[in-house]
């Protein structure tokens, strides 16, 4: 199982973190190892190598078929469920690595940095490109988005990624975060929603 993540997939988020950079013309891809996965409402422990861990709330898609060089018009056949995930980012480490021109996988791929919630069957979703999702921290909504605002839709992402690496059953795709990322702290209670259904619920320790 591999975790594929999309960066800079919402224009307002691009402006939020990358003001001076143009919007991407193709999906921006990075990977997380399977050891990054955090599920079953287990707590997230803030690592000792960062002073600023930030949440990035995302729609996550689960791959259910083996595929390579998938056509965009057939991509909808290759996933069976969605959920809300948190792409935890060590922002201070990312800024340091970017300023030095170094790869920044470590700030994204550390242990438990890919939290996921309960899965919702794709059969219950009317249109994958019209899903509202949001994150509450301590009962207050801190980030919300809709998949209609993606720069690159889910099917286009799947077609693009499958040109370079074979998608396998159980692979996860984090589809990018909207505007509104921010830091977490110990004792925060995170709850993620698809529409009005809570699918993600855990604490920061």
Q: Radius of gyration (Cα) for the chain, nearest Å?
A: 16
> What pLDDT does 18 receive?
65
> What pLDDT does 95 receive?
94
User: In angstroms, what CA-CA distances link 151 with 20, 127, 165?
Assistant: 18, 16, 21
Average pLDDT over residues 45-50: 97
Per-residue pLDDT tens over the stretch 3-40: 999 999 998 777 776 667 788 999 999 999 999 999 99
pLDDT band at 191; cut points 50, 70, 90: very high
pLDDT at 124 > cutoff 80:
yes
Task: Provide the percentage of residues in the chain whose pLDDT is more than 90.
Answer: 93
Average pLDDT over residues 34-50: 98
Provide the mean pLDDT of the chain: 96
CA distance 196 to 34: 29
> What pLDDT does 102 receive?
94
Average pLDDT over residues 155-183: 97
Average pLDDT over residues 38-65: 98
Q: Tokens representing 95?
A: 């800024």
Q: What is the pTM of this model?
A: 0.95
Per-residue pLDDT tens over the stretch 81-117: 999 999 999 999 999 999 999 998 999 999 999 999 9
Average pLDDT over residues 113-139: 97
> What pLDDT does 204 receive?
98
């Amino acid at each position: 199982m591999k975790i594929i993540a999309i960066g800079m997939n919402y224009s307002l988020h691009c402006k939020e973190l990358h003001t001076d950079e143009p919007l991407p013309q193709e999906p921006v891809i990075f990977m997380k190892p399977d050891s990054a996965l955090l599920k079953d409402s287990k707590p997230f422990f803030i690592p000792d190598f960062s002073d600023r861990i930030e949440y990035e709330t995302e729609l996550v898609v689960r791959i259910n078929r083996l595929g390579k060089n998938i056509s965009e018009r057939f991509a909808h056949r290759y996933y069976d469920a969605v959920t809300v995930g948190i792409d935890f980012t060590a922002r201070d480490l990312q800024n340091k690595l970017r300023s030095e021109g170094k790869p920044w996988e470590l700030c994204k791929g550390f242990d438990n940095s890919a939290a996921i919630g309960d899965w919702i069957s794709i059969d219950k979703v009317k249109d994958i490109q019209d899903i509202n999702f949001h994150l509450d921290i301590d009962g207050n909504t801190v980030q919300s988005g809709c998949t209609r605002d993606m720069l690159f839709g889910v099917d286009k992402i799947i077609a693009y990624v499958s040109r370079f690496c074979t998608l396998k059953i159980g692979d996860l795709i984090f589809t990018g975060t909207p505007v509104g990322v921010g830091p977490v702290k110990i004792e925060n209670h995170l709850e993620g929603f698809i529409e009005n259904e809570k699918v993600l619920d855990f604490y920061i320790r």
